[in-house]
Chains A and B, each alone.
Chain A
């Protein structure tokens, strides 16, 4: 009969209308239940109604992998040896992988010798150009640049506020660990330590000269419950408080590794000298 299709459609809209109230009824016409946080349920796969999140009064928290503009990681102020130090070594990989080329880095140099030092003198990101792709964070070998979760960056003047300098970009390591605990933990597993790679290496060097290395597996402390935030956090603090982070693979003594590296470096220098002699 003509019109039945139409009527069925209208029934469906009516059902949608009713269902949204049935869901409200379950929570006593309060949007969120006071005793249990039902936001996740009402936004999840099982719900039938719709709730609107009243931005900016309330906001949906972004997942850990969410990426907005980058930030630079610096050591926390209470770090025993490296307080306030940049994790960035100004290696320039982030500037190279940046698709719209919005990262500008001035590599630091030793004031006396003029040789480059692993420290950025200046660091700029033009957030108007940044396309939030996350490559810089993904390919940074030192975990020194990360994608922030703070997306409220609007300002009235793009010419003065939208080039973030090092000061604006820098956020403490603890901030990154608080917004993305699981990822920070995964990165720690790859690095083998909660510390910066270089700091850990130095610590190991100091350790191996004084006493035998204690082959304590780094994954041990945080591995208990990596998914739940508080546990991972406390574990993180526990291991970070120990200045000398244990080596990742306790089987290889680090002094031997260093010796190998020194040997390679010497050979490379020799090769370089030979090449220079040939050209000159």
Chain B
């Protein structure tokens, strides 16, 4: 009975992550070594072999979904640049983390765009912010900063304008905090440098061609000939950055033949503030309110992802208490409510984009108002909730949602919190979803505008690293709440919303289904809240410290946010620097990566459809541009 020998060979696509790494080690013995740094995970791949190994990882080992590709600058910690890739299987399970290192002086790494097209924007971001060259990238140019910007701002030795210190808290604030405004003391310009050959007049150039110069559209703006030598109506249309259909400051440059789109190039970064650099200056705690400002429609979800990532790191240390059950239940409730807010908003504004101007969206906003009222009463703010803490929450539910008059002409409300919640979850929200379906699902105009428009096939969706309703609308049943469950999702009963068609209408139906599933989850949360009434939201009964020390290591925390997979890659230098600030803080923003297939989806459609396709992706520029 030699069960060992008799065991059938496991197909590689189903091998565990450890077995997959073993396989890679045996097939590429010299190109791979385990990442043995304290608290680190995965393998370090020889940069020369990266492309081959990535193919093996995708094709033989079945890790077909590249979730995140990001760079880390280890200045003073080994003095190298590192690209970190997180690949997952769409069938579920954990990540295969692989990394490639290169030196800081002339960093070059082969591009993985030929393996995963979803790496496109992420590699451009790494080039833009870290200056890593990706050999073989078809379109390697800056994405968040503008062409002509000097330097690569995420590098550890790069300093921003109004730079004060590397890490917060700044010494100038206490005990000798004599106030001054940065702009008075450190005039703009001190930390700003230009490349030597720059012609500042060029930035002022108002001629048409300069606007499109760096885009590589291959179209002569002045005169466009068709293949037969006739002048045709193919032209370049610039939409945005200030355009109501772009949901913020987002720019699309289209070439159109007649009215049909032949190519589309998204241009972003108008709202870029280098969130990640700010995040590295911040302490761990400081970052929570900053995450609110990413996807400002669903700040609870942003909090959750970040808090999970840091809790993953903290759990490596000794003094860490996981959150209590009540805390987890409250977190899930808040996140599901913000998913409802997000989807109502997304569907409403998508309808605006395709012509149902403001009637449906105002019906949905009316519902959103109640949820925001609830957030305001519990967390203190309607949108910038800042509600979650490491190992806990800002506070438990108040007994009553109550306001006190303190300004003149105040209108006062007073509700019992649980009653308000119960009525909202059991009556109002389901009623609104029913109305939404009645209004739209069989509406002929909606059908004609959205069926078979902006089609993304399942294979493409995976290859483009699409996430959220965009991925599930293409028939890929991938939801992180099920694929790699977190919090109390394993014990909750809900289904993954999925539609096969891959068009705008399928995405709409996925969102409607998810609204219903969220209500289903919320109905299961209510009795859990009743059952845990009186339990503390903190494991040891008292709030966590304001300056938690996070042990050395890396963590990738990801959640299924309304817009898709929101991931936080966090590196803690822990004991090395002895600081409470993250060494690397990266946001895998679904709004950003979901734009990668926009050009692909828009090809062959009309300009008016492009607006709808963008709306059906559901982006928010706070998160796209970071």
Using a CB–CB cutoff of 8 Å, the interface residues on chain A facing chain B are 2-6, 8-9, 12-13, 16, 37, 39-40, 43-46, 50, 53, 56-67, 90, 92-93, 95-99, 101, 103-107, 116, 122, 124, 126, 131-135, 138-139, 147, 149-150, 152, 159, 163, 178-182, 227, 229
11 contacts between A and B (CB under 8 A): A8-B439, A39-B412, A58-B411, A65-B377, A92-B175, A96-B546, A98-B173, A99-B286, A99-B289, A133-B386, A150-B407
Q: Knowing A44-B415, A106-B177, say if A61 contacts B170 (CB, 8 Å).
A: no
Q: Does B79 contact A (CB under 8 A)?
A: no
Stretch at the interface among B9-17, B339-347, B422-430, B604-612: B422-430
Query: With a CB–CB cut-off of 8 A, which chain A residues contact B26?
Result: none
Nearest chain-A residue to B446 (Cβ)? A5
Q: Looking at the complex, which one of B177, B394, B409 makes contact with A105 (CB distance below 8 Å)?
A: B177
- The reply to whether A133 and B175 form a contact with Cβ atoms under 8 Å apart is no
Q: Does B285 contact A (CB under 8 A)?
A: yes
- In the bound assembly, the distance between CA atoms of A214 and B377 in angstroms comes to 38
Nearest chain-A residue to B389 (Cβ)? A138
Q: Knowing A44-B413, A61-B413, say if A138 contacts B394 (CB, 8 Å).
A: yes
- In the bound assembly, the distance between CA atoms of A146 and B228 in angstroms comes to 73
- The reply to whether B409 and A59 form a contact with Cβ atoms under 8 Å apart is yes
- The reply to whether B285 and A97 form a contact with Cβ atoms under 8 Å apart is yes
Q: Does B370 contact A (CB under 8 A)?
A: yes
CB distance from B415 to the nearest CB of A (A): 6
CB distance from A157 to the nearest CB of B (A): 13
- The reply to whether B174 and A105 form a contact with Cβ atoms under 8 Å apart is yes
Query: With a CB–CB cut-off of 8 A, which chain B residues contact A138?
Result: 394, 543
Query: With a CB–CB cut-off of 8 A, which chain B residues contact A149?
Result: 406-407
- The reply to whether A59 and B438 form a contact with Cβ atoms under 8 Å apart is no
Query: With a CB–CB cut-off of 8 A, which chain B residues contact A134?
Result: 380, 386, 394
Q: Does B161 contact A (CB under 8 A)?
A: no
- The reply to whether B381 and A132 form a contact with Cβ atoms under 8 Å apart is yes
Q: Looking at the complex, which one of B179, B370, B399, B546 makes contact with A139 (CB distance below 8 Å)?
A: B546
Q: Knowing A59-B409, A67-B381, A131-B384, say if A124 contacts B404 (CB, 8 Å).
A: no
CB distance from A175 to the nearest CB of B (A): 8
Q: Knowing A40-B413, A61-B413, A107-B176, say if A133 contacts B181 (CB, 8 Å).
A: no
Q: Does B266 contact A (CB under 8 A)?
A: no
Q: Does B398 contact A (CB under 8 A)?
A: yes
- The reply to whether B409 and A133 form a contact with Cβ atoms under 8 Å apart is no
Top 8 A-B pairs ranked by shortest CB distance? A104-B177, A5-B442, A107-B175, A61-B403, A133-B289, A92-B174, A124-B179, A61-B410
Q: Knowing A61-B407, A99-B286, say if A45 contacts B178 (CB, 8 Å).
A: no
- The reply to whether A61 and B405 form a contact with Cβ atoms under 8 Å apart is yes
Q: Does B215 contact A (CB under 8 A)?
A: no
Q: Does B420 contact A (CB under 8 A)?
A: yes
Q: Which residues of B, 331-378, contact A by the 8 Å Cβ criterion?
A: 359, 363, 366, 370, 373, 376-378
Apart from A61-B403, A97-B285, A152-B407, what are 14 other A-B pairs with CB-CB below 8 Å?
Answer: A6-B443, A44-B420, A45-B420, A67-B380, A92-B174, A99-B285, A104-B178, A134-B394, A138-B543, A163-B181, A179-B404, A181-B404, A182-B399, A182-B400
- In the bound assembly, the distance between CA atoms of A230 and B611 in angstroms comes to 55
CB distance from A125 to the nearest CB of B (A): 9
- In the bound assembly, the distance between CA atoms of A92 and B420 in angstroms comes to 39
Query: With a CB–CB cut-off of 8 A, which chain A residues contact B398?
Result: 63-65, 182
Nearest chain-B residue to A53 (Cβ)? B411
- The reply to whether B409 and A57 form a contact with Cβ atoms under 8 Å apart is yes
- In the bound assembly, the distance between CA atoms of A58 and B181 in angstroms comes to 36
Q: Looking at the complex, which one of A8, A45, A227 makes contact with B442 (CB distance below 8 Å)?
A: A8
- The reply to whether B412 and A40 form a contact with Cβ atoms under 8 Å apart is yes
- In the bound assembly, the distance between CA atoms of A60 and B401 in angstroms comes to 13
CB distance from B408 to the nearest CB of A (A): 8
Q: Does B435 contact A (CB under 8 A)?
A: yes
Q: Does B36 contact A (CB under 8 A)?
A: no
Q: Knowing A45-B420, A45-B427, A101-B170, say if A61 contacts B412 (CB, 8 Å).
A: yes
- In the bound assembly, the distance between CA atoms of A106 and B288 in angstroms comes to 27
- The reply to whether A229 and B404 form a contact with Cβ atoms under 8 Å apart is yes
- In the bound assembly, the distance between CA atoms of A74 and B418 in angstroms comes to 35
- The reply to whether B439 and A59 form a contact with Cβ atoms under 8 Å apart is no
Interface string of B269-302 (1 = CB under 8 A from A): 0000000000000100111111000000000000
Q: Looking at the complex, which one of B168, B289, B363, B373 makes contact with A16 (CB distance below 8 Å)?
A: B363
- The reply to whether B282 and A99 form a contact with Cβ atoms under 8 Å apart is yes
Nearest chain-B residue to A91 (Cβ)? B174
- In the bound assembly, the distance between CA atoms of A109 and B365 in angstroms comes to 53
- In the bound assembly, the distance between CA atoms of A59 and B409 in angstroms comes to 6
- In the bound assembly, the distance between CA atoms of A97 and B442 in angstroms comes to 52
- The reply to whether A4 and B169 form a contact with Cβ atoms under 8 Å apart is no
